[in-house]
Structure 1
Amino acid sequence: MSKRPATEDLDAMEDVASPAPKKFRSDGEESLDGRMAEMERNMRALTPQVPQSRQQQPVTATDDADEGDDDDAPGVVAPIRQAAPTAGYDDLYLDSIDRHVLDFDFEKLCSVSLSNINVYACLVCGRYYQGRGLKSHAYFHALDEDHHVFINMQTQRVYVLPEGYEVLSRSLDDIKFVADPRYTRADVARLDRGRSSETGLCYTLTGKTYTPGFVGMNNIKENDYLNVVVQALAHVPPLRNFLLLDEFGSGTALQKPKDGKTKDGALTNTNAELVKRFGLLVRKIWNPRAFKAHVSPHELLQEVALRSNRRFTLTAQSDPVDFLTWFLNNLHLGLGGSRTRPGSSIVQRVFQGRVRVKSEKLEAVGAAAAAAAAAAAATEAESNSFSNEMQIDTQLPVRSGVPQQQQHQIPPPPGFGGTGFGGFSQPPPPGMSMHAPSFAGPPGMPSMGSSTMTPPPPSSLPPPPSSSSSATPTSAQAAKAASLPPKPDSDVSRFLLLTLDLPPAPLFQDEQERNIIPQVPLATLLEKYDGQASRDQGDVRRRFRLRGPLPPYLVLHMKRFSANKFVTERNPTIVTFDPRGLDMRPYVEDEQGNSLNKFIGDEDDDDMIYDLVANVVHEAVRARSDDVAVDSAEERRTWKVQLRDRSGATSSGAADDKRNNGVGNNEDKWVVAQDLFVEPVAGELLYLAESYIQIWERRKRPVPGPASNGAKGRKAVPVNGASKK
């Protein structure tokens, strides 16, 4: 802008004094408060002059009080806000975006205010800031650092600051997909198919190849226990497809009461955010257009620590089984599941089964013996009291004038012979006659001179006690009932995972003076659920039997750790298994309690055959290298997971494997994932590690081909030695 020409000649105005400065125009010296008030009035006057057109129109502050003010003074430019970019500048500032620094896996919190409300991510430096208004942290970041492109982490809309208009360029679709991946049903259906040009290997920004679903997870400090559980659950197809399609329904949304009003904006489902973050993490694991070949569970870990009351954190190692149990139950509640109604969520429909538990108290045997002995003692005491009542133990009085030898002479009872019992001091029993005529019988009985026995009248005999005659058979029945053990209690319970007990480790060493590492087949551990083997837990003996039908996926837990008052002991027993064809028929019964191993038909063979999907293994690592005292060195727990890559074989090849007893040219591939490292592993070597958690998938029936004319396909034959009857 050129300076306007002067209206008068400057040479003719040499003697004219120059005008006073603006701050000295008033009669007296202006106070600081007055100057501040004037500045506020000027700023308020500039506010309605902000243009809202499509072009930038700077507004210059003027002083209406003095028209002769110096025009060379710099003007005050008001903030510029635009509803749309300037024509021809739609891609302005987009070249400053750096995709290499973008990482949307961490929790969405403002780096200044630590708030999670209305968070924006800077696409130039990757930091999180709150808001995009005139006084927001993102607005000041745009002015201070000259970073202008921001994305809303909730709506996935991109804005340019400080102008404030939205960018609608399709070149940002890859960033939006990485921040929140979305899939269609066709995309999900192609995940488990064979490799092709569409579902081949994917590439990162640096050119590194990776396979969707088999990416590493960042171990921030001690959160590998969570990584292996998330990796295993992300490869359960029903649960994975449900999360990829984001079919959470109303169970995880902001539910309102029936009257349509919420109190304080609170969530009625407190676990909704947990399900939301877990679903986002699973979608990132299966992302075919990721910028890097790994993901970070930081956002999920923060929610888990909050919901578990700091029970599971990223700084302390925990047990994967404890976390899996807690996580599945909270996922069930977060998906709108019921605490009492089974099968009310996808978690229970996939993992929940039934088991019959028969309980018997061990102390019942000792209690029955004691009760029988007490009843027998009571019966004997009652019989003794009855005999004592029929006897006379009092001494007879001595009569004067009668010799001492003749006072107590009584005739002997029949069969004893002799003329009397001179040595006895007791009278004869009632009903027996006296041989000596000098002895008078009991009152009411005539004295008899012969030794023959005559029955006394019925009225003269004392009546037997009625209580003893009726109590004797009752006490015998009670003793007999008490001697029998109580009947065991049978109850049907529901489970999400089955615990298998490992045999105790050997205490002695082999010939090379090394501890023997025992091995046990998986079928031996499953005998716990055959209904015959018993497990003693305290004073209760229990027997378990699986109740059909079995769930689509079985979760098995090998109990390796046992804690006492001092230390936690680890059982290093190796569990041998075949990853294909686990036969569960010997351990299942129907609703009537009949074993399905005997009455199973050909049509239901595949309903009891399971194939391995994921295997979480434990690995002990020495915390310090101590060559002198190796036994005293501390051990640190590390976890890794073995995953089946079912996309390595086509659907027809998988059917051919079933016809060949699980052995064919197109076998499933296996990979082992430990933190950021993902490596292939042979399926025959899976059992060499210390298995801790296993997820087995029920084998599906082969779909009949078009040439079969509706006939059923051939059935798979179990490979673990089970035969059909």
Structure 2
Amino acid sequence: MTSKECPYLDTVNRAALDFDFEPTCSETLTTGTNIYACLVCGTFFRGRGKQTPAYLHSVNEGHSVFLNLTSGKFYCLPDNYEIDDPSLKDVKDAFRPLFSKEDIESLDKEKTLGRDLFGRRYLRGFVGLNNLNKTDGMNAVIQALAHVKPLRDFFLKCGSGESFEITLNIASSKKKFTKKRKGSDGKKISVDSSNTKQTKVTIDPSTFSRLADCFGDIVRKIWSNKRFKCTVDPHLLVQAISVASNKRFTIGKQIDAAEFIAWFLNQLHLGIGGGRKAGSSIIHAIFQGSIEITSRQKKNLDDTMNGKDIDDRLGSDDEDDILQKEEAKAREKESQTDVIEEISTTTNFLQLTLDIPEKPLLKDDSGGLVIPQEPLVNILKKFDGVTFNDVLVSQPNGVEKEQKRRYRIQKLPNHLILCLSRFKRNLFNNEKNQTIVPFPVKNFDLTRYVYSDNKPSMKAPSEKEIRNMNVKELKELLSTYGRSDLASGVVEKDELVNMCIDFVSKSLPDMLSEKYDLIANISHVIQAEVGREGKSDPLEDGSYRCHVQHKATNQWYEMQDLHISEVMPQQIGVSESFVLIFAKKNAAI
């Protein structure tokens, strides 16, 4: 039975409604698909049949309007009929925000402030997250990832629950392996397995893991302008994170943001259906790059001369000749004992970790601490493709062995995550490197750090060449650079020609280079007295905050849990940055 006219709709109390918590019956503490929210008092109950907690609540308290927290349908109890009334649309939008294609495309142009039920103004996408006891690190990572445009758009599209297709470049094999010995025969073995294939993948949101589903839900709430309150409670997501990590990341325990974002992205990749092959999910398409790691170490050659064989001719008339030959063999062995072996592997990454050099904290004339600085370009020397760095590598027998390693970036992702290694564990607690790492907020050029052997030499066509192209060639031009979406909906050839000319002149130069703009910065701040004399743990006692930019106004905001304030971009570049997320200029995804 369905009724469009319910006499109890005026009893709905929107100010009492909060859908951010887990749907659990307040009386039986059970969860599942049969939980209902009372729209009069906001309490959750199980069932709607006779003698169920929801039914008894409606009879005893006179509360008649309920919402099924799984299907999103409204019911009147105890009469037990479905309510279909347009006046409840705002409740449904607050419960489960939905975004059309037009809504998603207009998000970065939106300047209008929303207003909650209590009259408080807020900017969609820039709402506070409740701190559930030392969950500020998780909040900062969530806010940062929620402002990565292709990731945000993907999860906003998943809100309807309907399946859709995306195109991914999935690797046909795993990695490249090269082995080379210096000082021997110089043989080099190389297997290139970097081929990728464009594949259409069907995304079914109903198959997502609990963690991926909760993350998508919180992203949609952050970017909704139809909420009843201007804050979001991340309780469901934090609980899913705690379960998935076996309480490695949980309430009441501060996280290392670099470790957490690495784990979290991997869980999202698996949770939305990603596999072992590179490029098999939207996470890989956005954040995955490739790097060649060359390990250089000394290797002793197996030689039968390790044990001295006694020649049975010694003591004969030819003893002098025999001794000379043995000495020559010994000298030859000595020259070949230590052979430098280089082993190169090409592997994929979702983030790059940078080591900050240790620098002492000095005091100025007034006794205050002078925080040292080290520019980001200096720290990136680790990935210059030339320098060999000393590292300790664990061996199968548990012993650490010293190696020299060189890192060469083969391919940078369209969204690059840089993690600054600030914390180091000693015998008692964590030590923090407080060195300030200045970096450019816009036009960060990383071209010189990319060494790709098979990188095609691309030359932009001239305006004359573009005007002489036919429609097929124009579309192929856009497709070559991953911007075939620009041609969708274009009917006239002249319009397509002008679009291609505009693309080649304005966007393509940045695409052919490796220039990046900052889109999110996560910093860690501690009080001045924390960390002195080993009295406090800087990781546990510090706090995280996130800096993100509002695209429509170019204004940067600092978000720390529920506190949101404007900030100058010059301040971001000299903050105690921990995790940086850069977006390639004019990237397709």
Fold in common (TM above 0.5): yes
Q: CA deviation at 1:681?
A: 0.6
Q: Contact between 1:119 and 1:130, CA under 8 Å: does it hold in 2?
A: yes
Q: Quick one: which of 148, 162, 169 aligns to 2:64?
A: 148
Whole-angstrom CA distance in 2 between matches of 1:512 and 1:378? 71
For the 8 Å contact 1:275–1:335, the answer to whether it is kept is yes
The 5 A counterparts of 1:111-126 are: 111-117=26-32, 118-126=34-42
Q: Measure how far apart 1:689 and its partner are.
A: 1.7
Which residue is equivalent to 1:481?
A: 336
1:644 corresponding residue in structure 2: 549
Given the alignment, which residue of 583, 586, 609 partners 2:515? 609
**Unpaired segments ≥5 residues, structure 1:** 1-82, 253-266, 391-461, 649-667, 703-725
Shift of residue 194 of structure 1?
5.4
Q: Find the counterpart in structure 2 of residue 175 from structure 1.
A: 91
From the two aligned structures, give the one with the greater strand fraction.
2
Cα distance in 2 for residues equivalent to 1:676 and 1:347: 28
Tell me if structure 1 keeps the 8 A contact 2:390–2:404: yes
Q: In the TM superposition, what is the alpha-carbon distance from 1:376 to its structure 2 partner?
A: 11
CA distance in 2, matches of 1:476, 1:84: 97
How many percent identity over aligned positions? 35
Residues 507/98 of structure 1: CA separation in 2 closer, same or farther (3 Å cut) = closer
Match of 2:581 among 667, 682, 695: 695
Match of 2:8 among 93, 96, 99: 93
Tell me if the contact between 1:251 and 1:334 (Cα under 8 Å) persists in the aligned partners: no
2:278 counterpart (342, 347, 367):
342
- For residue 206 of structure 1, report the CA deviation from its aligned partner: 1.7
Within 5 A, what are the aligned runs for 1:559-708? 559-591=421-453, 605-606=510-511, 607-621=513-527, 632=535, 635=538, 636-648=541-553, 668-700=554-586
Secondary structure of the residue aligned to 1:532 is coil
Deviation of the 1:640 alpha carbon = 0.5
CA distance in 1, matches of 2:355, 2:228: 44
Question: What residue is the counterpart of 1:501 in the other structure?
Answer: 355
Instruction: For residue 688 of structure 1, report the CA deviation from its aligned partner.
Output: 2.9
CA distance in 2, matches of 1:206, 1:555: 38
2:189 counterpart of 1:327: no
Q: Decide whether the 8 Å contact of 1:376 with 1:476 is kept in 2.
A: no
Moved more, 680-689 or 497-506: 680-689
Query: Is this contact kept in 2: 1:356–1:547, CA < 8 A?
Result: yes
For residues 322 and 146 of structure 1, the distance between their equivalents in structure 2, rounded to whole angstroms, comes to 50
Once residues 232 and 446 of structure 2 are traced to their aligned partners in structure 1, the CA distance between those partners, rounded to angstroms, is: 36
477 and 270 in structure 1: CA distance in 2 versus 1, 3 angstrom threshold: farther
2:220 to 250, 261, 283: 283
What SS does structure 1 have at the residue aligned with 2:564? strand
RCO greater where, 1 or 2, for CA within 8 Å and sep 6 or more?
2
Distance 1:168 1:519 in 2: 62
In the alignment, what sits opposite 2:114?
202
Structure 2 distance, partners of 1:529, 1:112, is: 58
Partner Cα separation in structure 2 for residue 326 and residue 682 of structure 1:
31
Structure 1 residues 246 and 633: alpha-carbon distance in aligned structure 2, compared to 1, 3 A threshold? closer
Residues 188-231 of structure 1, C-alpha deviation per residue, up to 9 Å, x if partnerless? 00001253xxxx11111122111110000011211111111110
Secondary structure of 2:552's partner? helix
CA contact (8 A) 1:192 1:646 kept: yes
1:547 aligns with 2:410: yes
The separation in 1 between residues aligned to 2:586 and 2:443, in whole angstroms, is 12
CA distance in 2, matches of 1:632, 1:693: 26
Secondary structure class of the residue paired with 2:218: helix
Which amino acid in 2 is paired with 1:670?
A: W
Q: Deviations over 1:593-616 (max 9, x none)?
A: x9x9xx887766434000000000
CA contact 1:239–1:347 (8 Å) conserved in 2: yes
1:660 aligned partner: none
2:142 to 230, 241, 244: 230
- State the structure with more CA Rg: 1
Q: Note the aligned Cα RMSD (angstroms).
A: 3.3
Q: 2:157 aligns to what? A: 245
Alignment match of 2:315 (pick from 380, 389, 407): 389
Per-residue CA deviation, residues 95-125 of structure 1 (Å, 9 max, x unaligned), is: 1111111110011111112222211000011
Cα distance, 1:633 vs structure 2: 6.1
Distance in 2 of aligned mates of 1:292 and 1:468: 93
What amino acid does structure 2 have at the position aligned with 1:643? V
- 1:105 alignment partner AA: D
Q: Secondary structure at the match of 1:246?
A: helix
- 1:458 aligns with none
AA aligned to 1:584 is L
Find the partner of 1:216 among 121, 128, 145: 128
**CA 521–674 in structure 1, closer or farther in 2 if over 3 Å, else same:** same
- TM-score normalised to structure 2 length: 0.76
**Cα shift at 1:237:** 0.7
Give the aligned residue type for 1:647.
A
The residue aligned with 1:312 is: 249
Instruction: Indicate the SS of the match to 1:314.
Output: coil
Query: 1:357 is matched with which residue?
Result: 293
- Distance in 2 between residues matched to 1:620 and 1:347, nearest whole Å: 32
AA aligned to 1:220 is L
Per-residue deviation, 1:183: 0.6
Whichever residue aligns with residue 24 of structure 2, its letter is L
| 1:236 CA drift (Å) | 0.6
2: CA distance between counterparts of 1:352 and 1:84? Answer: 50
For residues 385 and 370 of structure 2, the distance between their equivalents in structure 1, rounded to whole angstroms, comes to: 31
Q: CA deviation at 1:552?
A: 0.7
Question: Which residue type is aligned with residue 360 of structure 1?
Answer: R
Q: CA deviation at 1:318?
A: 1.4
Corresponding position: 1:160 with 2:107 = no
Task: Look up the match of 2:109.
Answer: 193
| Residue 537 to residue 139, structure 1, CA distance change in 2 (3 Å) | same
Identify if the C-alpha distance between structure 1 residues 523 and 463 changes in structure 2 by more than 3 Å, giving closer, same or farther.
closer
2:398 matched to which residue of 1? none
Is the partner of 1:697 in helix, strand or coil? strand
**Matches for 1:706-725 after TM superposition, within 5 Å:** none
How far apart are the structure 1 equivalents of 2:123 and 2:414? 26
Give the whole-Å Cα distance in 2 for the aligned partners of 1:233 and 1:156.
27
- 8 Å CA contact retained: 2:414, 2:587: no
Distance 1:105 1:335 in 2: 22
> Judging changes above 3 Å, is the alpha-carbon distance between structure 1 residues 156 and 250 closer, same or farther for their aligned structure 2 residues?
closer
Corresponding position of 2:373: 519
Q: Does the Cα contact within 8 Å between 1:506 and 1:516 map onto a contact in 2?
A: no
1:632 CA drift (Å): 4.4
Q: Which digits, 9 at most, give the CA deviation of each residue in 1:653-676, with x for residues without a partner?
A: xxxxxxxxxxxxxxx210010111
Matching residue's letter, 1:619: V
Q: CA deviation at 1:463?
A: 5.4
Amino acid at match of 2:251: L
2:187 corresponds in structure 1 to: none
Assess, with a 3 A threshold, how the Cα gap between structure 1 residues 513 and 378 changes in structure 2: closer, same or farther.
Answer: farther
Maintained 8 Å contact 1:221/1:314: yes
